[in-house]
A = this chain, B = another copy of it.
Amino acid sequence: MARKETITVDRILETAFAMTREEGFANVTARKVAARAGCSTQPIFRTYKNMEELWSAVYLKAISFFQDYYGLYPRTGKAPFANLGMAYIAFAREEKHLFELLFLTGGTQGGVELSEDQKKSMYEILNGAGGNVVYEINLARVQGCANPGDIFMKMWIFIHGAACMTLTGDYDLSDLETMVLLEHAYNAFAGRNIGEHPYGDDRDADQGEEHGKTV
């Protein structure tokens, strides 16, 4: 009765998502998506009412992509928050554009802006990935922290900081170093010292430039 559909919703969304991963949200324009999908812009506006709907779909796909990524990330760490941190930081390193979209700009990127109810907070996204945040807090409690929520906040600030710094190239530690760093941080926040930071009068440290002005 009519011509057969050749360009599907999936194909368009997959294309737009792949472009987001590789080039960032801002490069997902109607013509660029069409060119990469090998069609005109028309099928896009047949399957999506407008570009905003496509962007929204890409954003939602990015969320579930992260949740899968997080769910499948190997759990090799012993300390609470270590696996959470490892996965989050690895995601920032390997999926810079998706990380930026989800956790840095919160759905606002390069002129493209999602509506308020489309955006999700990092906590919503994380908790959607299997309720791990809650689990981490409980694990911290089980392991004897008086205030696991407080530790979670501190650890989360720390983890988020390291992840953000990977984007600008200011954090570039290996997985192993990151794991050690996360364990140190947890132990420090939990009040457990592991002999790594004895305080006394040791002045043999390497960093040695002289004086500055004010604090």
A residues contacting B by CB (< 8 A) are: 26, 71, 75, 77, 80, 83-84, 103-106, 110-111, 121-123, 130-139, 141, 143-152, 154, 156-162, 164-165, 167-171, 181, 184-185, 188-193, 196-207, 209-215
Contacts and interface: CB of A to CB of B under 8 A. Distances in A.
A147 B215 contact: no
Given A110-B110, A198-B146, A205-B141, A136 B215 contact: yes
A207 B137 contact: yes
A165 B197 CA distance: 28
A169 B69 CA distance: 24
Contacts of A197: 145-147, 150-151, 189-191
A157 B171 contact: yes
Given A130-B212, A131-B213, A135-B213, 15 more contacts: A26-B111, A105-B168, A110-B110, A110-B111, A121-B168, A123-B170, A136-B212, A138-B210, A144-B199, A145-B199, A149-B205, A164-B164, A188-B191, A190-B199, A191-B196
Nearest to A112: B110
B210 A199 contact: no
A111 to B, nearest CB: 6
Contacts of A139: 215
A212 to B, nearest CB: 3
Q: How many copies does the complex hold?
A: 2
Nearest to A187: B188
B199 A132 contact: no
A182 to B, nearest CB: 10
Nearest to A76: B215
A77 B132 CA distance: 35
Contacts of A157: 158, 161-162, 165, 171
Nearest to A167: B104
A106 to B, nearest CB: 5
Given A162-B161, A168-B103, A199-B191, A215 B149 contact: no
Nearest to A157: B161
